[in-house]
Structure 1
Amino acid sequence: MTNVYAELRPRAFAIAYRMLGSASEAEDIVQEAFLRMHQTPEIASPRAYVATLVTRLCIDQLRSARVRRERYVGEWLPEPVLTDPSPADQVETADSLSLAFLVLLESLSPQQRAAFLLREVFDYPYDEVAEIVGTDVDSTRHLVAKARHHVKERRPRYHASRQQRQELAERFTAAAARGDLGALEALLAEDVALHADGGGRVHALGRPVNGRLKVARIILVGFRRIAERGLTIRLTEVNGQPGLVAVDADDRLVMVMGMDIADDGRILALHSIVNPDKLPAT
């Protein structure tokens, strides 16, 4: 059982996290799936069993989560994960992990989201996707096509190299830290969007802010407040993309910010999570 868990857990978590946008909820789903597998005798294919159970549990979870998110204070953003900059054993592309992509998936129905992810991100054949989501193949193709059409035009794509993205994050942090409005503006796309999630627990923007100048000014105010509080900024990787974190004197996370980079090498979106319930442990 230990070997099966070690082999299947990474894929199970990858599916659950992309389905739910919450690392903590994904962990609970994965644990529940393996508990049920342990209690079920004679499973022909543990891989298929776990993928099916995780997906179906996530679909149920999403249906109830939508009601909770309608009552959420401010803008809801996914729970970020701090990722290893090395490719390690990840098969999936980094753009399917980005905060912008996970936010985009929120516009799909739970069943569409499951079918789209299994087919487009995890490369399951249509017959397996159909069995997992509980539909026939034709219905599954329709689900995937509809989701693909909805996502295609707005899906973020990252053509810059890892080094280029890292250098951009360094320049962004340096310009913000020294209060250089002009230098900061030059790094932002004209239609850049700033998103923030405080969940009603911590003061944050109530709605997204768009536009290079507005976003740059808010970022400078935020960095001044970070300095006044004696917090430390560190560059890191957030959901497979460049980002930064702010930590206090006890090394506790206070903020996680992910960056999405446009094709022209400028920052297209910033996602700032300050809700303490969503901040991963350091």
Structure 2
Amino acid sequence: MTHARNRPGDSEAFEELRPLMFSIAYRMLASVAEAEDVVQEAFVRHQQALEQGVDIASPKAYLSAVVARLSIDLLRSAVKRRETYVGQWLPEPLLTDAEADPQVQAEQADSLSMAFLLVLERLNPVERAVFLLHDVFSYEYDEIATIVGKSETNCRQLAARARRHVKAEKPRFEASAEQRDALAGRFFAAFTQGDVEGLIGMLAADVVAYGDGGGKAPQWSMPVVGADRVARLFVGMSRDITKYGITVEPHEVNGQPGAILRMADGQLVNVFVLDIIDGVVQTVRSVINPDKLRHLGAVADVRAIRSRNKAQNDS
């Protein structure tokens, strides 16, 4: 076997494969931080194997196997954590703006949406891996069988079962990105201005707003349902925007229109993501749990800010 520590082209190959490995890990785990950790560990193991003289014919196959197996193990350990999670659990938001550092391939954007990732939560970890590797990343069943340690026939069965679950619940979105983004722009403008009637006109009658604070930041304890209730919820938040000098930055988040809210000093408050269907906002998701925002930058302590403000008003 050839010692391959300094084999020409290794570092370039790693950088070429990193976005694909991250894409697999993020869709498996719905966590940016955990996905980055898994990818880094996979590359460390690959390098260690090379230094030990292991002949790795395909870095892609080796890294895919390590990423998938580590992700499966992490998902299994996450089940209990999510059962005891305070309030609504949502995936960590991933910025997918065209100008942002691309972590994913554009043609796979639909499989990045929060709605889609939440559907994947219904699958067990191995089903999730098999489905993603085959249906999203186009791996062959013989490759997948080696990766997950199952027979090829079993992998086909797992994929078929997962596909049925996903097909039954797979979200659909506005076909025209231009119309979708235009509506999102009007929505966030009406939100900033506290325009209740304008908001109601852009919301589906049965719109649902979900919030994820994880018990670490103030958030809605239950989903808010209905156009009137959601519109008035956002009008209430618009008062905080004015009071605290918060800015609303439009962004593409998980392949869908969204926004980052920031304090005047640039610290993040939360991230919004919209599902737009048939020309109206069908779902709003807000992630304010600071643990899920730190990969995007410094996060404001909203609870402390509100406490200080209350103390000042009471004094």
TM-score bracket for this pair, using the shorter chain length:
over 0.9
Count residues with an aligned counterpart.
Answer: 281
User: 1:209 pairs with 182, 202, 224, which one?
Assistant: 224
How is 1:58-73 mapped onto 2 (pairs within 5 angstroms)?
A: 58-73=71-86
- The answer as to whether partners of 1:252 and 1:281 remain within 8 angstroms in 2 is no
2:256 maps to what in 1? 241
The alpha carbon displacement at 1:241 in A equals 0.9
Q: Hey, what does 2:273 align to over in structure 1?
A: 258
Tell whether 2:40 aligns with 1:31.
yes
The answer for the alignment partner of 2:14 in structure 1 is: 5
2:221 is paired with a residue whose SS is coil
The unaligned stretches of length 5 or more in structure 2 are: 1-9, 298-315
Partner of 1:47: 60
2:18 counterpart letter in structure 1: R
Query: Could you say which structure has the larger radius of gyration?
Result: 2
Would you say the 8 A contact 1:92–1:122 is kept in 2?
A: no
Among 268, 272, 275, which residue is 2:282 paired with? 268
Question: In 1, are the aligned partners of 2:271 and 2:286 still within 8 Å (CA)?
Answer: yes
How far, CA to CA, are the matches of 1:246 and 1:86 in structure 2? 19
SS at match of 1:195: strand
Q: In the alignment, does 2:87 pair up with 1:74?
A: yes
Q: Is the 8 A contact 2:194 2:234 kept in 1?
A: no
Contact 1:197–1:274, Cα closer than 8 Å, also in 2: yes
3-state SS of the aligned residue for 1:171? helix
1:109 aligns with 2:118: no
1:155 maps to 2:164: no
Counterpart selection for 2:245 from 230, 233, 249: 230
The Cα shift of 1:86 comes to 6.2
Shift of 1:158: 2.6
Which deviates the most, 90-99 or 109-118? 90-99
> How far off is 1:135 after superposition?
1.0
CA distance in 2: counterparts of 1:276 and 1:183, whole angstroms? 30
- After superposition, what is the alpha-carbon deviation per residue over 1:244-263, rounded to whole angstroms, capped at 9, x for unaligned? 1111122121110111111x
Q: Distance in 2 between matches of 1:269 and 1:133?
A: 35
Report the 3-state secondary structure (helix = DSSP H, G, I; strand = E; otherwise coil) of the residue aligned with 1:237.
Answer: strand
Report deviation, 1:198: 0.5
Work out the CA distance in 1 between the residues paired with 2:206 and 2:234: 15
Alignment deviations for residues 137-158 of structure 1 (CA, whole Å, 9 cap, x no partner):
2211111111111111321223
CA distance in 1, matches of 2:65, 2:287: 31
The runs of 5 or more residues in structure 1 that have no matched partner are none
SS in 2 for 1:73: coil
The reply on whether 1:119 has 2:111 as its aligned counterpart is no
Q: How does 1:195-206 map to 2 (within 5 A)?
A: 195-206=210-221
- Conserved? CA contact 1:85–1:240, under 8 Å: no
1:144 aligns with 2:159: yes
1:196–1:205 CA contact under 8 A, matched in 2: yes
Identity %: 51
Please report the RMSD computed on the Cα atoms of aligned residues, expressed in angstroms: 1.6
Q: Residue 74 of structure 1 contacts residue 206 of structure 1 at CA under 8 Å; is this kept in 2?
A: yes
* Structure 1: distance between partners of 2:234 and 2:122: 27
Between the aligned partners of 1:81 and 1:173, the Cα distance in structure 2 is 19
More divergent stretch after superposition (214-223 vs 95-104): 214-223
TM-score computed with the length of structure 2 as normaliser = 0.85
Q: How far did residue 91 of structure 1 move? A: 5.0
Q: Distance in 1 between matches of 2:282 and 2:108?
A: 19
Residues 201-254 of structure 1 show CA distances to partners (whole Å, capped at 9, x for unaligned) of 101112322222222221221222222222111111111111011111221211
- Which structure ranks higher in relative contact order (CA pairs < 8 Å, sequence separation ≥ 6)? 1
Q: Secondary structure at the match of 2:296?
A: coil
2:193 matches 1:178: yes
